[in-house]
Amino acid sequence: MAAVSIEQTVRTMLTNNIANASIADASITHGYRLQSSQLPALTFTVENQSSATIGIQRISTLTMNIVADTSVAALDLEPVVRAALTPGSYGRTVLAIVNISSSLSEPAVGVGDEQEPAQLSVTADIYWE
């Protein structure tokens, strides 16, 4: 039986800890979201799966993008996403999550004068084994 990937672990952590009323399970995806998908949505990537110390502990950089209709809606979801980042066993064991920071992207204009969805990025270092 193959080991669960860190990406699967992160998705399980996020879906288990975010109330479905905030962001639907189907709207939490790795890497990208379909343009026609329901908002709000949450995409994530996991980078730098390197050894953190001697032994089996690893560290990765987790980047999550909250995509919402407005900047205010994206900002309202930031505490929900931060609260979802909790250590525990989600297929692999998440030992700690540190250095959490966020950045709201500037509003983007789409076709004509329509506003594109707002995006807020949340980045954290995740220790796991």
| Pairing label, strands 88-89, 93-104 | antiparallel
Tokens representing residue 118 in the block: 């707002």
105-to-94, 108, 109 alpha-carbon distances in Å? 28, 8, 12
Does 50 have pLDDT greater than 80?
no
What domains appear along the chain, each with residue ranges and CATH number? 6-128 (3.30.2000)
Task: Report angle CA 93, 96, 99 to the nearest 5 degrees.
Answer: 145
Looking at residue 1, what is its pLDDT?
46
Looking at residue 116, what is its pLDDT?
84
Distance, CA of 63 to CA of 100 (rounded, Å): 10
Q: Which range among 8-12, 99-103, 114-118 shows the weakest confidence by mean pLDDT?
A: 114-118
